[in-house]
Amino acid sequence: MKSLIECHSLGIGYKQKAEEPHLLFPTFDIQLYEGELTALVGPNGAGKTSLIKTISGNLTPLSGWITLFNKTLKSYSTAELATIISIVLTDRILDQHIKVYDVVATGRYPYTGFWATLNQNDKSVIQKSLEMVGAEELSDRTFVTLSDGERQKVMIAKALAQDTPIILLDEPAAFLDYPSKIELMHLLQNLVKKHHKTILYSSHDLDLVLRSADRLWLVASRKPIATGIPEQLVLDGLIEDYFAITGLHFDAALGQFILPTAGIKKICVSANGITGIWLRRALERKGWTVNTNENEAFVIKFGNNNYILENGQTVVHFANIESLITELDRYENN
Amino acid sequence: MKNTVSNTAKPLIFAWLVGLMLLLFVLNLFFGSVIIPVVDVFRVLFGEGSTNQTESLIILNFRLPQTFTALFAGAALAVAGLMMQTLFRNPLADPSILGISSGAGLGVALLLFFTGNVSSQTFASVDIISHLGLNMAAFLGALAVLMLILFISNKLGNAVSLLIVGIMIAYVAGALVGLVKYFSRKEDVYAFALWGLGSFSNVGNSQLPVFIISISVGLVLSILMMKSLNLLLLGDRYAANLGLNIKLSTIYIVIITGFLTAVVTAYAGPIAFIGLAVPHLARSLFSTADHKILLPSTMILGACLALFCNLVARLPGFDGSLPINAVTSLIGAPIVIWFIFKHRNFTTLES
Amino acid sequence: MRQGKLSLNTKLEILLFPTHFKSFILILICSLYFGCVPEVKKPVSHTDANDHLQTYAKGFRIVELHSIRKLLIYSPWKEDELLNNYVIWPDSLPLPDSLKSTPIIFTPVKRLIALSSTQWAAALQLNAIEGIKGVSEASYIQNEQIQDRLKSGETIEVAVNGSYKPELIVGIHADLMAYSPDPSGIPEVLSRSGYPLLAWPDYFENHPLGRAEWIKVMGLLLQRENEAAILFDSIAGSYNKLKNLTTDLNHRPTIFADKEFSGQWYVPGGRSYMACLFRDAGADYLWADNTSTASFPLGIEAILNKAHKADFWRMAQAANDIYGYENLRQENEIYASFEAFQQKKIIFCNTAKTAYFEKSQFEPQIVLSDFIFLIHPDLLPGYSPVYYHFLQ
């Protein structure tokens, strides 16, 4: 695997006057591999944005150095860098009149002359970039009238118009609703696979990155950066370690954090498939520890489109999950 | 919503504006507080003999330089306002935001104070101040603030800090003006108030070339900033990622804006409103944020607004001459409100 | 961040706009202030009052009713309104009970605070400067006697740059404080001093002799009425004799006055003191038809139109020794377009050199001589002007 960006003994943080530099995490070595969708993941406030800023040349590292295509980052001019790395930020564009097309067109500025005149090639690149993100319909719209998801697409189109091998995205999914998040991840995966981009995006959404990223850069405040493919990191217990929040428990089987429930209320579910999964979720939400031990006091089965609750000798049939959990609540309160 | 100003309509609007500017220019020569027959104006302008000497004097030595001054001052202030609004990404920014006008005001207040104090008691001490001294004082005051701002922006290189520092400098200059005024006699305070009302009539034919050339240089330089300004619309980080040297561009923009503001303030006093309002008119009219269109159109619109205000300030049959700042605000504000209402579909969010 | 930017900015705008607005209001107030001086004031009819002979001044009257003398000061803004109505009572006589509750000035006034220069200048004319205990704006006072007294502490500066020093005012233990009234009323600091206050609106007189006649008020206060009357009669006699020289002139050259500032050119009103001087000097003032007693603003274009070919141009200002036509041209090139400029017929008073504002009020005959000599040199052969000269 070829690495496009290499960080060597990199130290990131801030320096206050007459004080020792404050490092966000211990100095580290890390590589961004070509043709991968890499996710920089960690809790809020861990220093993801600072890392992205440093890699994009926006922030000077406290120690160490970065190489880009085997040359030090410092040796690139701003203009050269503009053709190698493009960025998509959480920053809002404030102008009330700017057009989507004009925003995407700025992606071509590193290639245009003094007057920023767009030639035929520039125009076709802009058009293609808009099409790649599915935003060609938006091109005449004023940027401020777009939804968050649309804005994110347009900014990605800008990055595509910039025609750089590397794209860095800072929290691209932060303001998006769930379907838009999924759509965005598909888009990023697609750009990597079909258009040979190398992409690094940051996110605090563990669920999202576990489902989409080829590789994770796992950060947490003052911890050494861990890296690897998502599944390996889960199995090694690093995810739980890095995201550790008092009172939360990472369920490696589910790949998500759950509220610990001390196991007082145990219930057995013997149902499979989609119904089983959602039934289980509903019960967990209500604080039950679900297992498959049919000796528990409560056992739920599913058959003939009915949920069957067995409690010792009592057997009750429910038509849906809602009436089932309402009944369980009643038991509990008695 | 689709763009209502199509790309083909833009050159047409632009042509209309240039026409309007030429019309206002001519009207400024034809109409003033002294009523001169149109035929006579033609005769004077085209150098035909047998014209009334007073009329030719009024037109050539007074109306002509005043009209040119209004035109160039209007264009300069409007462009300066546009650049400030883009640099600070703030729709309320105007040329005075960097404290440069306040610096000019401080220069004038100090001049009034010192000349007022060395002279003896005069009832009409307004007369003491020579306009040349006033121009110089205003220009030096503005320049001093500009240097300070440049020094600071070189240290900070960040628009938000620069904005705050600019506002702080404006406050400090304003406070110093207040102090100087406190220690000045009321005649000088009154003279300062008069200066603050602005006037396009201080530039004579012999100073006019210097004024026009200075402003033109500033305007040409502003056009050279077109690409940087477009990038700055996206915010500093995007602009930097797209290859823009933020610090250098900020310094260039501050120098050009400061120079334009300083020249105009030195020659015409602190003219309000044009710098704030005209960029909004241009954006609404062309419904764009592209400086390739905005820079030339704010120049033309700024010139139009200044010429129109100058015309209104010297309405035919009215022997006085209204203070130009009162006219710019009284006429400019309703125009802007009307535009915002008319074009509100461009500025409101839609679902 | 965005929020912060906006609000700071908005504050600045809010702070900036009122300044412009305030300036506008200031102009409005100023024009009202100078614009509404009543032209002719009819004296209040005290039918049986034994009025002293008073021909020119409109702002005060000295009346005697049943052997009680009164000093009345009229408002320059409201006809028939009195600013002061004082009984003048000699210190040497016992005060009758009937007068105990009326406002009284006991004469001679021994400790006077003179807040404007024309008040102490009047005392100076009567050789009675010892009574002047307080003055204002000392740095602008050219008179050496007053300056010596300021140095020795006999006279104290009680106001500088328009702000009063209340503790010094009270410390003087004055008998009377004379001030220049304005339409906004008496400053709180002055009324709190507890002194009798005397309004002194002499600068609203629109006849040069009217201004000079205020010397009679000072004479009354200092018990030097006869000296004041004799002085005034001699001033008025000389003035009227000079005026008679020009009454029958057929050739009356045209004249206009003053300069532009920031687009506004304040010209003396047609009924003003300056217009009167122009007329009496045998000149034709271009705005003589105007009915204002005070200066009013015009646009430059209107001045050019009317005064472009005028014969003479009068201005008074403080200037250095080398101030001349070139300086004037640099101030505003348009000045060079006037024929009076080209012909070097600018009648100029350098107020930094001549103590014009301190002395000329009581020497209107000299000011008039200057004008006559410069406009009609043949009428006063061999005369050497005092205040006004042609600008060099």
Q: How far apart are CA A124 and CA A118, in angstroms?
A: 10
Q: Tell me, yes or no, whether B134 lies in a domain.
A: yes
Name the residue with higher pLDDT: A247 or A214: A214
- Decide if pLDDT at A264 tops 70: no
CB C262 within 8 A of CB C252: no
- Decide if pLDDT at C385 tops 80: yes
Query: Which of B121, B122, B185 has its CB closest to that of C162?
Result: B185
* B100: closest CA of chain A, how far (Å): 25
Q: Tell me, yes or no, whether B34 lies in a domain.
A: yes
DSSP 8-state assignment for residue C195: S
Q: What is the mean pLDDT of residues B194-209?
A: 87
Q: Is B289 in contact with A58 (Cβ distance < 8 A)?
A: no
- Decide if pLDDT at C27 tops 60: no
Chain B residue numbers touching C140 (CB-CB < 8 A): 120-121, 185
**Which tokens in the block code for residue A158?**
């800008």
- Decide if pLDDT at A68 tops 70: yes
Which residues 6+ apart lie within 8 Å of C5 measured at CB? B88, B89, B90, B160, B163
Instruction: Please give the model's pTM, rounded to 2 decimal places.
Output: 0.80
Q: Is B150 exposed, middle or buried (0-12, 13-18, 19+ CB in 10 A)?
A: middle
Q: How far apart are CA C342 and CA C365, in angstroms?
A: 29
Domain range list for chain A? 3-246, 266-333
Q: How far apart are CA B259 and CA B254, in angstroms?
A: 8
CA A74, A79, A85, A86 torsion-angle sign: positive
What confidence score (pLDDT) does residue C306 get?
92
**Which tokens in the block code for residue A17?**
């006057």
Q: How far apart are CA B275 and CA B83, in angstroms?
A: 10
CB B99 within 8 A of CB B261: no
- Decide if pLDDT at C126 tops 50: yes
Q: How many CB atoms lie within 10 A of CB C161?
A: 18
Among candidates A161, A87, A157, A155, which has minimal Cα distance to A121?
A: A161
Q: Which residues share a beta bridge with C89?
A: C106
Residues 208-247 of chain B whose Cβ lies under 8 A from any Cβ of chain C: none
CB C1 within 8 A of CB B161: no
Which residues 6+ apart lie within 8 Å of A4 measured at CB? A32, A33, A34, A68, A69, A165, A166, A198
Name the residue with higher pLDDT: A286 or A136: A136
CB B197 within 8 A of CB B268: no
Q: What SS3 class is residue A71?
A: strand
Global ipTM: 0.81
User: B116-169: per-residue pLDDT in tens?
Assistant: 544 433 333 444 444 447 778 888 888 888 888 888 877 776 777 888 888 888
Q: How far apart are CA B84 and CA B96, in angstroms?
A: 9
Q: Tell me, yes or no, whether B167 lies in a domain.
A: yes
What confidence score (pLDDT) does residue C174 get?
92
**Which tokens in the block code for residue B164?**
């705050």
Query: Which of B226, B240, B284 has its CB closest to that of A115?
Result: B226
Q: How many CB atoms lie within 10 A of CB C78?
A: 12
CA distances, C377 to each of A51, B107, C276 (Å): 91, 44, 19
Cis peptide before B209 (omega within 30 of 0): no
Please work out, in degrees rounded to the nearest 5, the angle formed at the alpha carbon of residue C200 by the alpha carbons of C198 and C203. Answer: 175
Chain A residue numbers touching B230 (CB-CB < 8 A): 102, 106, 109, 116
Query: Which of C24, C260, C318 has its CB closest to that of B326?
Result: C24
User: C149-201: per-residue pLDDT in tens?
Assistant: 999 999 999 988 778 888 899 889 999 999 999 888 888 888 888 899 999 99
Q: Tell me, yes or no, whether B2 lies in a domain.
A: no
CB C299 within 8 A of CB C265: yes
- Decide if pLDDT at C55 tops 80: no
Q: Tell me, yes or no, whether B274 lies in a domain.
A: yes
Q: How far apart are CA B264 and CA B274, in angstroms?
A: 12
CB B246 within 8 A of CB B236: yes
CA C85, C269, B192, B131 torsion-angle sign: negative
Q: How far apart are CA C287 and CA C280, in angstroms?
A: 15
Q: Is A78 in contact with B244 (Cβ distance < 8 A)?
A: yes
CATH value at residue B70: 1.10.3470.10
Q: How far apart are CA B143 and CA B150, in angstroms?
A: 10
Q: How far apart are CA A312 and CA A296, in angstroms?
A: 9
* Across B232-236, B337-341, C12-16, C206-210, least confident range: C12-16
Q: Is A109 in contact with B227 (Cβ distance < 8 A)?
A: yes
Domain A266-333, CATH: 3.40.50.800
Q: What is the mean pLDDT of residues A201-209?
A: 90
Q: Do domains A3-246 and A266-333 have the same CATH topology?
A: yes
What confidence score (pLDDT) does residue C32 get?
39
Extended strands (E) in chain C:
60-65, 68-74, 82-90, 104-107, 112-114, 132-136, 156-160, 163-164, 176-179, 197-199, 254-257, 260-261, 264-267, 284-285, 296-298, 312-317, 346-350, 388-390
What confidence score (pLDDT) does residue B157 get?
63
User: A173-189: per-residue pLDDT in tens?
Assistant: 988 888 889 999 999 99
User: B24-71: per-residue pLDDT in tens?
Assistant: 999 999 988 888 888 888 888 887 766 678 888 888 889 999 999 999
- Residue among C3, C262, C273, C274 with most chain B CBs within 10 A, to mutate: C262
Q: Give the mean pLDDT of chain B.
A: 84
Domain enclosing residue B235, as ranges: 9-347
**Which tokens in the block code for residue C204?**
């609203």
For every residue of B65-78, DSSP letters joined together read HHHHHHHHHHHHHH
User: C79-111: per-residue pLDDT in tens?
Assistant: 888 999 999 999 888 888 888 888 999 989 999
* Across A183-192, A245-254, B310-319, least confident range: A245-254
Q: Tell me, yes or no, whether B155 lies in a domain.
A: yes
Topology adopted by domain A3-246: Rossmann fold (3.40.50)
- Name the neighbours of C, counting chains with at least 3 Cβ pairs within 8 A: B
* Across A119-123, B183-187, B223-227, C155-159, least confident range: B183-187
Q: What is the mean pLDDT of residues C51-72?
A: 82
Domains of chain C, each with CATH number or no CATH: 60-235 (3.40.50.1980), 246-390 (3.40.50.1980)
- Decide if pLDDT at A98 tops 50: yes
Chain A residue numbers touching B224 (CB-CB < 8 A): 114
| Model confidence band, residue C41 (pLDDT cutoffs 50, 70, 90) | very low
Q: How far apart are CA A32 and CA A46, in angstroms?
A: 19
Q: Give chain A's contact residues with B (Cβ, < 8 Å).
A: 53, 56, 58, 78-79, 81-82, 85-87, 89, 91-99, 102-103, 106-107, 109-110, 112, 114-116, 140-142, 144-145, 158, 162
Q: Tell me, yes or no, whether B278 lies in a domain.
A: yes
Chain A residue numbers touching B252 (CB-CB < 8 A): none
